[in-house]
């Protein structure tokens, strides 16, 4: 696939959307001294090129009672079971991220829970999946950095 070329207007639109995905196109247009239709067309082209893949919602999990974070490394009996195990993991809504990895673990998961008791129940659900040999858990004491905006700005400034 050919690399999509971004011009300065595209960069400025992306910078504003990275900072606030809910900013109205009319506000972007006013700041850039272009029409809202131009913003709409450019965003649509970036979506069609796969550069923009929707927008996201950020929640305050602490306020919702899900402040406990743990990372669970999953060891499989056989790597051929990876797809099956991942399908079972998707059935556990408290597993928010799962990566197939190299190294120590076959799969590495991030879970969110109410507390240690709830986390234990989630980990036991992971352990009970057919094909899981064992798990290893690390408790997060604090999520110190969770900021994709800096990386997105850096990537788009390099294009």
Predicted TM-score (pTM) of the model is 0.79
What 89-97 contacts at long range (C-beta under 8 Å, 24+ apart), as own/partner pairs, is 89/126, 89/129, 92/122, 92/125, 92/126, 94/118, 94/122, 95/122, 95/126
Per-run averaged pLDDT (10 residues), the chain, 159 residues: 76 91 94 95 92 85 95 97 98 98 97 97 98 97 85 78
Q: What is the pLDDT of residue 153?
A: 80
Q: What is the pLDDT of residue 2?
A: 53
Burial classification of residue 51, based on how many CB atoms lie within 10 Å of its CB (0-12 exposed, 13-18 middle, 19 or more buried): middle
């Amino acid at each position: 696939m050919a690399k999509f070329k971004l011009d300065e207007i595209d960069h400025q639109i992306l910078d504003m959307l990275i900072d606030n995905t809910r900013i109205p196109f009319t506000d972007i247009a006013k700041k850039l001294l272009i029409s809202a239709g131009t913003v709409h067309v450019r965003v649509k082209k970036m979506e069609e090129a796969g550069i923009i893949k929707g927008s996201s919602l950020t929640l305050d999990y602490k306020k919702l009672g899900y402040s406990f974070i743990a990372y669970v490394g999953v060891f499989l009996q056989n790597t051929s079971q990876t797809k099956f195990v991942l399908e079972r993991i998707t059935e556990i809504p408290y597993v928010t991220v799962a990566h197939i990895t190299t190294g120590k673990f076959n799969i590495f998961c991030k879970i969110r829970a109410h507390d240690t008791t709830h986390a234990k129940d989630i980990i036991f659900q992971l352990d009970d999946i057919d094909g899981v040999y064992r798990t290893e858990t690390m408790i997060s004491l604090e999520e110190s950095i969770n900021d994709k905006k800096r990386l997105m700005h850096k990537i788009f400034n390099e294009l």
